[in-house]
Structure 1
């Protein structure tokens, strides 16, 4: 077990900055999901077109992440984060000037390029700031930026739209703190590669890095789990506000705040408590952390299914069941992200995260909103035809969107299976990583 001496001197201060940037990351990318109904009505969009807004962002995010992840393994990570944060904040402001659907989607792609620089470099930094037995807690705190970013967005964006009378206002307001925060990253003290490991690592970047990462069986199961989990997460984040407005007849502000509780407040509990439990389990059993994640995801999938089975009059039970299910799903991050650090050697971690993000965003995060949007349009038309009506109404669109979300519990349950399978190869792959470092030392 590593000692505290392997922890960087300013680790917690840097982690706070990383957390704040992560918060802004998810705040900025969540704004379109909240203003989805005003945009739909203004530009007369289908659910598939609405889903493509998130999917286009995610595709660019994933593609740009690969070269930027490789860059983070060889260049200054603090500069990559600083410039990336400034760029995505500037594009967020530009979103407020969109004049039609195409211009809106194009600017979102610019935001995606900026945000793609962040996760691989940030996770690589955390791996060098904290020793293995503290990484789940560190990742848990870092990932608190996700639910807090969602909470802040869902609790404030609706009010901004109401106060300023336009859906454009939140984009202008969100840009400023990101530009200010980006300046701080240029002044942090970046740790050496492998500084938190118990043995000294080679300063030479390994040859054929992508091939080396993909030779590790655990990484394949983790990549598949990221694909299915992100499908569910991005679909829910993209359409839950709209579902509450259409199916349960909430106002924009009420729908946004309710969504903030369901997918945001729950994450504060899931990530903080889950990170502590995962670290304690990991100290007793190498594969216990991933088994803990698999179990939580199994229960999560069942609860989400039960939530969707509730009638329109049972919106309170729908919210409670979905909220508890989403709370448990957050343990995915505190169990899987540290596992990647444990099976990948330090000079390949940013590359590994970039590969992981590319796969899960291209095939999961990008597919989620688009597939659910397409399925919603299909089920909407089916509901209209079954009724014998020839006129499309908001009632049919509400039914179509609700029923399309049954894809979510299916993908969460698949995630549970993939995390379980990752646990079976984890101990062997983690031991092999340590032996590889010893041979190179």
Structure 2
């Protein structure tokens, strides 16, 4: 399925910078709320007397709900005003984050995290399609990189804030505080501009597309499926690592929880910022040289990151260990802009939100919905260090899949 090509290169839409700013802030809070639970996990395990397998279910259950709700949100995002889905989703997940702090049983906490997943799905599937309609094609990798910079910054904030508040007060307080910013941003999202679908891709791209026609075309789009396969493998590995890294540092590297949270957050933020910015700039340049060039860049980054993940847990000294973790994360975060730009550029504008929602379904259903529990089970029968080393294999396979995606994207757009 070859995407429509604009006759002229339009300028960014009015108020596009404001919308990008709001959406990026929301994405930051999204990941802040998501990662508070990971650094608070040792306290939650202690209070509810959970083993590692049970604790992993907390992350997996959230992802199951999130991934199942995402295609529904994507379907709606191609048909109703998207800013309402964004605002409603942010409000729901922020209230549910605060409610997580009220949980007095593990079952109640699971229900609250499920509601967080529903709210995040209402936002995650449609935000990239809004951005793609606000900025021209040749700028999308860069602006999507700005949007995805919020992932490492939000994760770092979740690690740092969650670790500090859990240690100084309690994990309940960490959830209360995490829910506040999203309520404010939900109100601001109601006033974002609502761009016309396909506004940056020419008049032909603005036509409506019957759902079954779009679904049939997507099924015959090899670039989309190779990209989704590589993204899924990477998400499995990185989602599991992010969930268990603070626990690994506490249990097997003798760090205090607040120090583990701070250092994990600082390294993730720095690597994410530099890697995502570099990936956006290099991805646009690579795409100008050849269709699918950004995907090839992403594939090479994952191939180089895989052995570094193994090496990181074999190093006992803290300073070199975090240096290796930084380099591995930098190479992984190169792909944030290129992968998502390839998805929105490789499907018709009227089908982008659903394609993103379907992508979210697969990357989480076969990715980080499984990996926290799988890694927890491996850790129970061996150790977290062994589990993390095995977890580098999907990164390696994901790099190969993204190289195939780049080749398929080049063929589709020839």
**For residues 28-60 of structure 1, what are the alpha-carbon distances to aligned partners after superposition, in whole Å with 9 as ceiling and x for unaligned?**
011110111111122221111111100000000
Write the mapping of 1:246-257 to structure 2, written as runs, cut at 5 A. Answer: 246-257=251-262
Q: What residue is the counterpart of 1:173 in the other structure?
A: 177
Q: What residue is the counterpart of 1:390 in the other structure?
A: none
C-alpha distance in 2 between matches for 1:192 and 1:428: 29
**For residues 359-379 of structure 1, what are the alpha-carbon distances to aligned partners after superposition, in whole Å with 9 as ceiling and x for unaligned?**
010110101101101111121
C-alpha distance in 1 between matches for 2:267 and 2:229: 25
Q: What residue is the counterpart of 1:396 in the other structure?
A: none
Equivalent of 2:401 in 418, 426, 432: 418
Indicate how the Cα distance of structure 1 residues 191 and 316 shifts in structure 2: closer, same or farther if over 3 A, else same: same
Asked whether 1:328 is paired with 2:370, we answer no
Q: What residue is the counterpart of 2:384 in the other structure?
A: 401
C-alpha distance in 2 between matches for 1:62 and 1:366: 8
**For residues 195-221 of structure 1, what are the alpha-carbon distances to aligned partners after superposition, in whole Å with 9 as ceiling and x for unaligned?**
111444243232313332222001111
Q: What residue is the counterpart of 1:305 in the other structure?
A: 310
Q: What residue is the counterpart of 1:186 in the other structure?
A: 190
Contact preservation (8 Å) 1:210, 1:351: no
Asked whether 1:237 is paired with 2:230, we answer no
Equivalent of 1:129 in 130, 134, 147: 134
Q: What residue is the counterpart of 1:430 in the other structure?
A: 413
C-alpha distance in 2 between matches for 1:318 and 1:199: 52
Residue 4 of structure 1: how far off its partner (Å): 5.6
**For residues 329-387 of structure 1, what are the alpha-carbon distances to aligned partners after superposition, in whole Å with 9 as ceiling and x for unaligned?**
011212211111121010000010011000010110101101101111121xxxxxxxx
Q: What residue is the counterpart of 1:212 in the other structure?
A: 217
C-alpha distance in 2 between matches for 1:201 and 1:38: 51
Asked whether 1:368 is paired with 2:335, we answer no
Contact preservation (8 Å) 2:16, 2:193: no
Contact preservation (8 Å) 1:128, 1:195: yes
Contact preservation (8 Å) 2:100, 2:109: yes
Describe the SS at the equivalent of 2:211.
Answer: coil
C-alpha distance in 1 between matches for 2:34 and 2:12: 32
Give the alignment's Cα RMSD to 1 decimal: 1.4
C-alpha distance in 2 between matches for 1:71 and 1:53: 28
Listed as ranges, the gaps of 5+ residues in structure 2 are: none
Contact preservation (8 Å) 2:33, 2:178: yes
Describe the SS at the equivalent of 1:170.
Answer: helix
C-alpha distance in 1 between matches for 2:216 and 2:380: 40
Larger Rg: 1
Equivalent of 2:162 in 157, 173, 193: 157
Listed as ranges, the gaps of 5+ residues in structure 1 are: 380-399, 432-441
C-alpha distance in 1 between matches for 2:333 and 2:73: 26
Residue 430 of structure 1: how far off its partner (Å): 3.3
Asked whether 1:357 is paired with 2:364, we answer no
Q: What residue is the counterpart of 1:196 in the other structure?
A: 200
Describe the SS at the equivalent of 1:26.
Answer: helix
C-alpha distance in 1 between matches for 2:67 and 2:47: 29
Contact preservation (8 Å) 1:291, 1:423: yes
Describe the SS at the equivalent of 2:10.
Answer: helix
Describe the SS at the equivalent of 1:5.
Answer: coil
C-alpha distance in 2 between matches for 1:406 and 1:346: 40
**For residues 239-266 of structure 1, what are the alpha-carbon distances to aligned partners after superposition, in whole Å with 9 as ceiling and x for unaligned?**
0000000001100110001111232221
Equivalent of 1:100 in 105, 109, 121: 105
C-alpha distance in 1 between matches for 2:54 and 2:131: 37
Q: How many residues align?
A: 408
Equivalent of 1:224 in 224, 229, 249: 229
Describe the SS at the equivalent of 1:15.
Answer: helix
Contact preservation (8 Å) 1:375, 1:404: yes
Contact preservation (8 Å) 2:142, 2:337: yes
Residue 5 of structure 1: how far off its partner (Å): 2.8
Greater displacement, 73-82 / 279-288: 279-288
Greater displacement, 247-256 / 38-47: 38-47
C-alpha distance in 2 between matches for 1:339 and 1:419: 11
C-alpha distance in 1 between matches for 2:215 and 2:45: 41
Contact preservation (8 Å) 1:6, 1:195: no
